[in-house]
Structure 1
Amino acid sequence: MRRTKIAVAVLAFAIAMVGPLLVEPATASAAQIDRIDELSPTRSAIFVESPSMGRIIQVQVLHPAAGGARPSYYLLDGLDPGVNQSTWTNATDAEGFFSNKNVNVVLPVGGQASYYTDWQQDDPTFGRYKWETFLTQELPPIIDAHYGNGVNAIGGLSMGGNAAFILAVRHPELYRAVAGYSSCPDTTLAMGAVMFSIANRGGDPVNMWGGPGSPAWAEHDAALLADRLRGKTIYLSTGTGIPGPHEGEVKPQLAENIVLGGPVEVGVNSCVIAFEQRLRAMNIPAHIDYSPTGTHSWSYWQDTLHASWPAIGLAIGA
């Protein structure tokens, strides 16, 4: 185990003005490392003191055993993330899959129903959520100082994929590629599902971006801001909700998917189709992985994580 205390000045990233809905981020205060626990030669847990959230956030990093700077893939969790680790390492073979690849996989821990965004109001259930500030301002300098080279991609499953596209359009200078696994990047289309998912976990969705029709919803809609994805590698995957080869595999992380995984994926599929049509109308190329079967569950996300890597890895030079 290695423990360090390193103050890191955090950069405020300037976003080019592309349309009236762009909101420039506030400059974050300096974040610092509380400690680093070396969990294995290829996996480290970094505990970061986040000024924006007023607490320590754990971030686990998968990395090659050899040292040196390399590109980073920020990989976000779903609505119900793991407590002590990302569900990507708990429910898939991500650690083994990336062990021989020249990339850091950056896995934030926590953020239930957060959509990895800055909430307008503190929530009685979740407390202070300032995930956008943490992920785009406080964390990248720390990752780059220890592991990275400033070249990034971002992706996620379900909620995390929605958030990945939102962060990519709000901070286009940060990412060369963006991926969503069973995700709906169209915030307006998914508004009802987003609000229900937060309320279903005890939060008040109005505390995030205000009520329906509030300007902040449009400011976090990757479909409305899709032009900012131009030039990036884009990957989206979806099943159809029809049971496929993995339905017999019960994942304890999301046992509810046995019942809900089919209907949820039907909705995701419709959203991905609509989003692809929007991209095509704007002449923005994208890799869309349509499966004829498959539900909203982890075994399929492991498959599509593998399938997406050639495109994502090429985009960041990993």
Structure 2
Amino acid sequence: MATILLTVVMSQFGPGRADARDPDQRATLTGLTQVDGTLWQMIVRSPAMGIDIPFQVIRPAGAPMGAPTLYLLNGAGGGEDGANWLAQTDAQQFFAGKFVNVVVPARGLGSYYTDWIAADPQVGQPMWATFLTDELPDVVDDALGTNGRNAIAGLSMSATSVLDLATIAPSLYRSVASYSGCARTSTPEGEAAVRGIVYTAAGGNADNMWGPTGSRQWRAHDPYVNAEKLRGTHLYLSSGSGAPGRYDTPSAQAPGAPPIANQILVGGALEAATRACTEAMANRLRQLSIPAQVHLPSTGTHSWGYWQDELHRSWPTLAAGLDG
């Protein structure tokens, strides 16, 4: 298998933000490797976090210039636990014939892809929102020769994150797809869910992420509260009901899936909770007359087979923003 390694020793920034920033504070591309066919590995140094972030990247065949970019975020494990879009779904095959760069961060465990307000003993102090919205896009645009149009999609934990990121950087993403997430982070139920995911996934204390209960940060990062900022964005929301469906049998499970009983019981309960959140967010968007494609099937647990289907189903919405 042929492998191409490109090492870049200078900062990769386009005009605008790069000129106004201290060179030491610019993100840098440190590696771009063709792994196999359309699959590449990219590594970017984040000044905000002081670490190198690895990415899986799906590029159009021949790596042509001028394609848009879809940022595709993993769930609570951040892809660090082996549960990721490329391992659990047909994402590489699905995008093989499409004119789009798909950029998948391979880090982010329990971080909610947000900026943490304080250092945490277990998690450190992630600054994902700064990295994803401010540091990374110019590096990606230069390294991959994109056309500057962006979309973002995520599942479970990151289904909340993608809506949040779109509200804090409303001009960056033209399309957003949220699969099985909870957009209400400042309600007692929503906050409890976020705290549980942060602790279960990474052992972190969400006080260090968005402050104690009642902090304004919880509302500042609540997509339901800030839904008006999504106006003009192509939106796709989905969640199953929690009832067992076509992928809730041993023969239909994705590789590396949990025991089928866990998928049905735990995954069913999780999906039922995200269904209530998704319905609430869909209603909020309707109240504001903000168009959105919403898919609420009668079955489906919190598991990869359904997220693969939703990635396929949401592509026309994502592409609509990337096309113009």
Tell me the residue number matched to 2:53: 57
Aligned to 2:233: 232
User: Which residue number corresponds to residue 110 of structure 1?
Assistant: 107
Aligned to 1:275: 281
Closer, same or farther: CA 266–288 of 1 in aligned 2, 3 Å: same
Task: Using the TM superposition, give the Cα deviation of residue 263 of structure 1 relative to its aligned residue in structure 2, in angstroms.
Answer: 0.5
Aligned to 1:167: 165
How much does 1:262 deviate?
A: 0.3
Name the residue aligned to 1:155. Answer: 153
Q: Which secondary structure does the structure 2 equivalent of 1:64 belong to?
A: coil
Task: Report 1:81-230 matches (<5 A).
Answer: 81-83=78-80, 87-147=84-144, 148-189=146-187, 190-201=190-201, 202-230=203-231
Letter of the 2:5 partner, please give it: R
Q: 1:2 aligns with which of 1, 5, 10?
A: 5
What is the identity, as a one-letter code, of the residue corresponding to 1:153?
A
> Is the 1:86–1:110 contact (alpha carbons within 8 Å) kept by the matching residues of 2?
no
Q: CA deviation at 1:9?
A: 3.7
State the secondary structure of the residue aligned to 1:133: helix
Shift of 1:254: 4.5
C-alpha distance in 1 between matches for 2:118 and 2:283: 35
Contact 2:83 2:256 in 1 (8 A): no
Partner amino acid for 2:97? N
Distance in 1, matches of 2:81 and 2:58, equals 15
Letter of the structure 2 residue corresponding to residue 122 of structure 1: A
For residue 272 of structure 2, the aligned residue among 262, 266, 271 is 266
TM-score, normalised with respect to structure 2: 0.89
Amino acid at match of 1:98: F
Identity of aligned residues (%): 40
Q: Which amino acid aligns with 1:226?
A: A
Distance 2:24 2:225 in 1: 26
Following superposition, the deviation at residue 160 of structure 1 comes to 0.9
Cα pair 1:87 1:253 within 8 Å, conserved: no
Q: Give the Cα–Cα distance (whole angstroms) in 1 for the partners of residues 53 and 268 of structure 2.
A: 33
Matched, 1:46 2:42: yes
How many residue pairs match? The answer is 305
Residue in structure 1 matched with residue 312 of structure 2 by the alignment: 306
Matched, 1:289 2:295: yes
Deviation digits for residues 253-305 of structure 1 (CA, Å, limit 9, x no counterpart)? 44153431000111111111111111111111110001110000000000010
Question: TM-score with structure 1 length normalisation?
Answer: 0.91
Matched residue SS, 1:81: coil
- The farther-off stretch of 196-205 and 76-85 is 76-85
From the superposition, tell whether residues 101 and 68 of structure 1 become closer, same or farther in structure 2 (CA, over 3 Å). same
Q: CA–CA distance in 1 between the matches of 2:200 and 2:226?
A: 28
SS of the counterpart of 1:166?
helix
Question: 1:7, 1:33 within 8 Å by CA — same for their partners in 2?
Answer: yes
Return the structure number with greater helix share.
Answer: 2
For 1:185 and 1:74, how far apart are their aligned partners in 2? 19
How big is the alpha-carbon RMSD for the aligned residues of Structure 1 and Structure 2? 1.9
Is the 2:41–2:56 contact (alpha carbons within 8 Å) kept by the matching residues of 1?
Answer: yes
- Which of 59, 69, 72 in structure 2 is aligned with 1:72? 69
Unaligned runs of 5+ in 2: none
CA–CA distance in 1 between the matches of 2:68 and 2:149?
5
Stretch of structure 1 that moved more, 163-172 or 195-204: 195-204
**CA separation in 2, counterparts of 1:89 and 1:258?**
23
